[in-house]
Structures are given as C-alpha cells and as structure tokens.
C-alpha cells in the first residue's frame, strides 16, 4: 500500500465528511462558504455533490480570489448592518 504524503491530503473536506445542507454524512463534501463574523469566530459550510448541484453551489476552491473577497466583504457589511 502506498504511503500517504502531505500532497495527497485534501484540505477542502472536513475530516468527518459532513454536508451542512442535508445535515448528514457525505464522502463528497467540499467547502462552499466561509462565514466571517466581525471579530468573533467564523465558520465553514460544506456541501456534498448532490446538494451542490441542487442548490447551485460552487466550491470555494473553484472561486477566484476577487470573487471570494467580494463575498466576504458583502457578508461583513450585512453583519455590521444587523449590529
């Protein structure tokens, strides 16, 4: 059996393989959203392949840096308006 190296490890999947959309285990879950909450703790949202297709979700790994920064800024502005 081949030995696993650090380049073999996928960093965009949770260790438990959990889909936040159908709230269940999944072997295809990938990071689809990064939640930034002011200065507090943020979070991550993972979705499996069927849920990504059903909800038109794009994995964070496939989003450009500019688009990701824009999403984070919109989220931060919405949070500030609620405060």
Tens digits of pLDDT across the chain (83 residues): 444 444 443 444 445 689 999 999 999 999 998 887 777 777 899 999 999 999 999 998 898 888 877 877 766 666 556 55
Q: Is 3 within a domain?
A: no
Cα–Cα distance measured from residue 50 to residue 39, given in angstroms and rounded to the nearest whole number = 33
Residue 4 is assigned to a structural domain of this protein? no
Residues with Cβ within 8 Å of residue 21, at least 6 apart in sequence: 47, 48, 51, 54, 55, 57
Asked if the structure places residue 39 within a domain, the reply is: yes
- Residue 61 belongs to domain spanning: 13-82
Q: Mention every residue, 6+ apart, whose C-beta is less than 8 A from residue 6.
A: none
From CA 46, how far away is CA 13, in angstroms rounded? 8
Q: Is residue 56 part of a domain?
A: yes
Whether the predicted model's global pTM rises above the 0.75 cut: no
In a domain, 57, yes or no: yes
Total structural domains within the chain: 1
């Amino acid at each position: 059996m081949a030995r696993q190296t650090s380049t073999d490890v996928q960093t965009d999947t949770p260790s438990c393989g959990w889909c936040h959309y159908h709230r269940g285990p999944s072997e295809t879950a990938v990071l689809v959203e990064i939640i930034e909450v002011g200065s507090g703790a943020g979070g991550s949202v993972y979705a499996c392949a069927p849920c990504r297709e059903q909800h038109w979700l794009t994995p964070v790994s496939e989003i450009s840096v500019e688009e990701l920064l824009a999403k984070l800024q919109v989220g931060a502005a919405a949070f500030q308006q609620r405060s």
